[in-house]
Every structure is written in structure tokens, then in C-alpha cells.
Amino acid sequence: MGGEYDEGTTVSVSAQPETGYEFVGWSDGSSQNPRTISVSENLNLTALFGKQQFSVSINTQGEGTVATSGATGQGSFEYGSSARFEAVPAAGWYFDSWTGNASGNNNPLTVSIDGPKSITAVFKRKKFDLTVTVEGEGTVTEQVIVQPGQYDYETQVKLTAVPEEGWEFANWSGDIGSTENPVTVTINTAKNIIATFEKLEIISIEILNPIDSLVISRVHKFQVEGTYSNGNKVDLSDGVELLTAYRAILDYDSLEPPILTALDNNQFTGRKSGLVALDIRFQNLQISTEFAVVPFEYMPIGDDLISSGECQLRVPIVIINYFPTTDGVMHNEEVGPSGFWNLNNPTVEQSRRKVHSDLVLTKNLVEYGSRFRDYGSDTIDPYICLEVVKYVNLYEVGPYKKLRPELEASDLDYKSIFEQLGIEQSVNEDGVKEIWITIFPKSPEYPTVLNNNISNDPNTFYNIAETNMSSPVSGDISNSFRINDDLPIYDNTYVVYGYNAHRGPDTNVHNRGHQVEAQLMWLEQRKSYTQGNELFWNKFVGINPNSNKPIGRSGMTHFPPNTDVDYDYCNMTLFESDIMNWTPNGGEKTEVNCETWRNINYPFSFNSYGFYEPQSYEYDAHSKWLLFWFQSIPGYQNNIPYEKDGVEYTLTNWWDLIYNWDEAVTQGKTLWE
């Protein structure tokens, strides 16, 4: 550029560099741009330009370096030049890509410089496959990830060989050779490793829980342990074979019925009494054991059969229950039908549960019955507490004995059974006063026998008396058949109560009501030969000697005071009776009917259990009447006056007479004193 200007003219000049160049200065040494010049003479001025220099920032991600060429200075590059970058990975790393103002994975990388740049070389750690192969049965665990997997260079991986049951680790092979376990592998290349397992041999077997005896219906399973050749142990309980001395347990085709019944998972139960020789086999190993299958067991006595409350007299009792069984699992309907009208086909366990719950309620009804005139107020302590000292379940019925020739059914052979169960010691030394025996009777007139193709062989019929007394001082004073030689006579009196498992606690207590009547009448008869049972029968019960019907006093086991119909416990007819305030010469009367006794609430459960579902006796008029009647019997501290033959007496505690029978008889006690 240039021109002519008048002297004194002021001119502004500006240097404009081309692309890639930059203004350096003026030829006269000035660096001002733009600048102003005052024209005073001819001036030759030159603008100086040079190529631009650009910086390139080199970064790394991961481990490695970048070699650079083409720079004109430290990190500077001239415009239009070509720069060369080469990524150099560190050991165990590899170059992956360029990022920033350059992309791709070319290496080396050439970049044309047209401005400042920032470039990153990305390095990644090398990874190697680790493949683990198993020979035999077992697994290999890795410290970081599940095999097969990839690991970073020089990663240390701990491999642990875990043999399956019955195998042991032998060695590692492939890219390592070792017998160590676990073993640590450093990953610096791809590796293939083999874990070898060898099968162990079981060299012996042992029974951990041998038994001397097994009760019929009770389940057992032998815990069998095997020992491997390396000393390790293994549970073989589910894998062994159980065989009797002559055939497998499951073989029911033998002429001799099996003594055991096989259940699931190598469990078994006793089905009939006898000696068992059992072989236990596993592969080529075998051990033998012997044990007896026994027909009875002594059960633990739970809190529901132990009285914890206050009472004046504790009465020890023995409970004996018969549960006939076909195979140790099911109730045997052929030997003892489970019902009078219908067969229930219960298991033995269901029969046990039903009978036990009936007995618990029976015990509560009897105990609460000795609370004189409590009538649900729960303010009077019971006079007696029944304490179960022995509870026996038997699973083979018998032996039998023909004690009552007039009946088709046989009775239990009490002498033989009591000797087996040690009842003499229970009575003489433990003070047992009662023995409760529950059976499932079988008689020819039962609908279950008539309608279900059950054998009617007379030799298979058996029953039990409702009550049966053995006494060294009075003989058999019971409601049922008084046969003095059927029960063994010990040093003390005891009463056998026969319970029919077809029925329930109401019938059990019913039997006791008749025993109470029999004992009280016998004691009065001994003291009142001319008047007979005037006090108990005519005055307390209220039987009119002319009509032999109740006359509205206290009633009896069969008759509440508002009816003259047998077993009419829920008669709703209101009738005046002095049962709740009874005295021999007449007490205050109130109108009573079924609701009087049925609607009383007592502080204990009236629930029992049938074969398949709960059964409530809460509103059962039969059991509620008997409980009400028991509480009306003159009891502890009754202070009821009685005039006889012009002499004033006080009634004795009739419950004490019943339960301390030997003392009452030998000391000449009766219903008054």
C-alpha cells in the first residue's frame, strides 16, 4: 500500500496478517498496530509477518507415554506443519484409542496443525482368560468372579477346589501343577487349569442311634454314618437298605406277619411285639442290630394331668389305655371298633389324642365336683386333687379272661396285666386309689360289628366293667359286677374305672356317679340295718320308696330332680328342689331345670378332641348335670345337721368316705358323725 500525502497530513496504518500468520512489527522497529503517522517527508515503511505457533497438549489415560515429533519448540508447532504422535503402552497395558481433538485408534497418529489442540492417548489393562476344567465330581471357587472369566494383568486369583460328597481333591494340572488347595494363580497370560477329583471309598458304616426296644406305633429312623477311606464321615441314613433277617420290611407276603412297618425316608414303626433282627446294608457293607418291639409304653405326664391348686386330699391314680393297631399306624377296627354306630378309621395318633383329651376333661370334672356347693363361683377349693402317677399306653389288647359267664364278651385278665405293669407297688407303696382303663370294646350287638363285616367270633369280643373295686377290708363294693376274684387284692383298696373310648368324658363321669352311689349306700346300710338307705337314697337322692321315682330333692346319676325319666338330663320342666340347700329334713327350694346346671360357667375348659376335630362339652347337659350333682353331695366342712333316733348328728364329708375307704370301713364310719 502507499500514496502521496500533503506535508503535515496524519495517516493511520494497520497491518492485517493472512491466515496462519501473525503481525511481528514494522520495519522502523515499531510494534504498534494500528499506528498513526504524521507526514513530513518521504517514508518507506514495511509490515513484518511470521507463521503462527500453536501448542498441543498431550494427555494419557491409563498407563503409557506418547512420543512426539515435528515440534518447533517445547510443545509448539508451526501452523501448517504435520505433527506425529506415537502411543507407547506400559507393561501389562495396551493402546486403545485417541480422544480429544483427535479420534481413532491409528498409532502412530499424524495431525495437521491448524490451531491449538488437546489430545489424550487411552491405554487399557490387558485381560486374560482363565479357564478351569473339573475332572471328577466337585467345583472350583474363584476369589473374584465365577469361572470362566477374564482377569487384569497380574491379578492374583485364589482357586479353591471343593469336592462333592464322596470325592476328594487330587491335584491341579494344565498351566499349573500343584496339590495345594487352595492355590493362588497370577494372571499374566491366558491360562487353562484342570482340577482333578478322585472318588472316595466308604470302608465302614456305623449306627449312631441304636435302640434296645421300640414301642408299637412309635416311629424310629436309624442314623447311619459312613466313614470314607480318608477318614471323612457321611450321613447314609436315607441311602441304606433295612432288611429283617429273612426279608425286607416292605414284604407283606410272608406267612409270618412282619414285626415292623416301613414308612417314608427309611423310617419304620413297630406293628406287633417280638424280637427283631435287622440288617442294615450299604453297597457291599452290612451291619446287624437286634431290638425288641414292645406292646406298651409309659408316657410322660403333662401339666394337664397334674393338679397345682389347693385341695385337702391328693389322690394318686394310674391311667391305662388300649389302642389296638393293624400296622402301628392305623387303629385296628377288627380288634376294637373305633365307634358304636360307625367306624371312624382313625390313626393310632388320632385315637391317642382323642382319649387323652377325654381323660383330661374327666379329671377336671371329678376334681371340680368335690367343691361343695361352689356351682361355678370358683371360691371353694376342691376337696380332692387327682394326681396321675403312671400313664400307660398299650397297643396289643389282652390278655382276656372269661369273668362273667353270662356275657358273650370277655374281660381283661386284670391279674396278668397288673403284674406286668407293677400295679401292686403302685397301690401298696405309691398310694394309688384309682386305676382308669380306657378300651375300645367289641360286642356282638354293636352296629359297627353288625354292619361292617367285622368278625363276630365270640372269642374276639371283650368289654370292661364300668367300675370294679378291690378291697382287703370290704370286698368288691362297686356298681358293676361284684366278682371278688377278678382283681388282685393288695394291701389297700383301689377302684378300677372302665372307660369306653367310643364315648366321652360325660360317660366316664357317669360311671363314677354310680360308684359314689354304691359306696355311700353300702356304708349307710352297715350302720342302719332297719332303715336301709333312708338318708342317702330316700332323703338325699329323693327316691320315693313306694313309687321308686325321684320326688324333687337332689336326684342321682340317672335322674335330675325335675324328671322321672332315665337319662333325661336336659328336661326343661321347672320343678321345685332343695338340691342347692339340701338338708335331710328339707332345705330351701328353688325351681330347677336343665338350664340350672347347663348354663353354669366353670373356670376350666370343657373342650375335648374327637378323632378328627375338637368337641365341646360346654353345653352338654349330661356332664354338666353330673358336675352339678357332685357339688351338691355333702363335702368338706358341710356342717349339715342330721337327727336320727332322737340324736343330733352332723353329716360327714362323703368325699372323704369314698376316697379314704379303708379308714372309713375299719373305723366304722358312715354318712353322719
pLDDT digits (tens, 9 = 90+) for 375-404: 999 999 999 999 999 999 999 998 888 887
Where residue 251 falls among pLDDT bands split at 50, 70, 90?
very low
Name, of 82-86, 404-408, 624-628, the range with top average pLDDT: 624-628
Q: Encode 496-528 in three state secondary structure.
A: EEEEECCCCHHHHHHHHHHHHHHHHHHHHHHHC
The verdict on residue 42 lying in a domain is yes
Do 238 and 206 form a contact (C-beta atoms < 8 A)? no
- CATH number for the domain that contains residue 259: 2.60.40
> What's the chain's average pLDDT?
90
On whether both 349 and 486 belong to a single domain, the answer is: yes
pLDDT-above-70 percentage for the chain: 96
Q: Give yes or no for residue 15 having a pLDDT over 90.
A: no
The verdict on residue 157 lying in a domain is yes
> Rounded distance, CA 134 to CA 116, Å?
58
On whether both 92 and 178 belong to a single domain, the answer is: no
H/E stretch holding 203 reads strand 202-207
Q: Give yes or no for residue 255 having a pLDDT over 60.
A: no
On whether both 211 and 284 belong to a single domain, the answer is: yes
The verdict on residue 479 lying in a domain is yes
User: What DSSP line would sit under 280-322, residue for residue?
Assistant: EEETTEEEEEEEEEESEEEPP--GGGS--S--SEEEEEEEEEE
The verdict on residue 510 lying in a domain is no
Where residue 5 falls among pLDDT bands split at 50, 70, 90?
confident
Average pLDDT over residues 365-375: 98
Amino acid 443 reads S
Per-residue pLDDT, 309: 82
Structural domain including 212 reads 205-294
Average pLDDT over residues 52-71: 88
Q: Give yes or no for residue 146 having a pLDDT over 70.
A: no
On whether both 265 and 403 belong to a single domain, the answer is: no
Residue 308 has a CB neighbour count (10 Å cut-off) of 6
Least confident of 237-246, 435-444, 588-597: 237-246
On whether both 535 and 578 belong to a single domain, the answer is: yes
Per-residue pLDDT, 151: 64
The verdict on residue 362 lying in a domain is yes
C-alpha cell at 194: 484342570
Do 100 and 120 form a contact (C-beta atoms < 8 A)? yes
On whether both 349 and 497 belong to a single domain, the answer is: yes
Long-range contacts of 573-582 (CB under 8 A, 24+ apart): 576/552, 577/542, 577/552, 577/553, 578/553, 578/554, 579/553, 579/554, 579/555, 579/628, 579/629, 579/632, 580/373, 580/375, 580/632, 582/540, 582/553, 582/554, 582/632, 582/640
Q: Give yes or no for residue 253 having a pLDDT over 60.
A: no
On whether both 385 and 468 belong to a single domain, the answer is: yes
Per the listing, cell 409309659 goes with: 298
Average pLDDT over residues 634-641: 97
On whether both 497 and 527 belong to a single domain, the answer is: no
Per-residue pLDDT, 252: 42
pLDDT tens sequence across 457-470: 888 999 999 999 99
On whether both 174 and 269 belong to a single domain, the answer is: no
DSSP state, 579? Answer: G
Q: Give yes or no for residue 345 having a pLDDT over 80.
A: yes
> Rounded distance, CA 581 to CA 131, Å?
97
Residues 6+ away with beta carbon under 8 Å from 325: 216, 217, 271, 331, 332, 348, 395
Give how many domains the chain has, as a whole number: 6
On whether both 109 and 246 belong to a single domain, the answer is: no
pLDDT-above-90 percentage for the chain: 70
